[in-house]
Amino acid sequence: MTIYVPGPLIDTNAYRHAIWTLSILEYVYADLQLILHGSDDAEGSIAKWSSGIITRDTAVSLVPASSSIEELLNNTDIIWLPTQRDAVPDHIEYLATQQKPILASDVPSLRQRLKLHTQTLFLPANEPSLWAKAMFKLLSLHSGLRSAA
């Protein structure tokens, strides 16, 4: 399963929380993939930090901002918007039109832009343990739906 995190990656702590969450979930979901899009500026620090806690080299992909969002979303199961700032990622309007579950930080700008997206779950930005629990439940639900299809 693939989780897509759109950029720009300006909030390093939020992305560290996302990688930390992945490090927990990869024990249950061995094929889990985290795609960080728009990582041009943060690539070095994120790659260094994730190499210390992720067991698989292929679990975290850092893709440049110039990569096609449409192509990335074709292979995405869940859209994840972790941020501790009141910021809006690139392509938010396009993301809101996708029929994919979105897990988002509960910040005013995201809540406003995603208010009509019925598959969005908002969580406090500074609670990585809640992110892990919510992502586990979402992945469990998504796995059940995928195997029933």
| pTM, 2 dp | 0.82
Supply the pLDDT for residue 148: 43
Spatial separation of the C-alpha atoms in residues 135 and 21, rounded to whole Å: 8
- Residue 34 CA to residue 21 CA, distance in Å, equals 10
Residue 147 has pLDDT above 50, yes or no: no
Structure tokens at 27: 């024990």
pLDDT at 44: 66
Residue 42's pLDDT band, with cuts at 50, 70 and 90, is low
Q: Is residue 133 part of a domain?
A: yes
Question: The domain containing residue 131 runs over which residues?
Answer: 2-144
pLDDT at res. 62: 79
pLDDT computed for residue 54 by the predictor: 62
Q: Are strands 102-105 and 120-123 parallel, antiparallel or unpaired?
A: parallel
Residue 63 included in any domain: yes
Taking residues 107-116, report their average pLDDT.
87
Strand partners, 35: 4, 61
127 vs 51, residue with greater confidence: 127
| pLDDT at 132 > cutoff 60 | yes
Domain membership flag for residue 149: no
Residue 56 sits in a domain of what CATH number? 3.40.50.2000
| d(C-alpha 38, C-alpha 43), whole Å | 9
pLDDT for the residue numbered 9: 63
Supply the pLDDT for residue 5.
85
Q: Measure the CA–CA gap between 96 and 113, rounded to whole angstroms.
A: 8
The percentage of residues in the chain with a pLDDT greater than 70, rounded to a whole number, is: 76
Assess if residue 16 is contained within a domain.
Answer: yes
Kindly state whether residue 62 falls inside one of the protein's structural domains. yes
Query: How many structural domains compose the chain?
Result: 1
Q: What's the confidence (pLDDT) of residue 49?
A: 64
Of 12, 17, 58, 66, the closest CA to residue 38 belongs to: 66
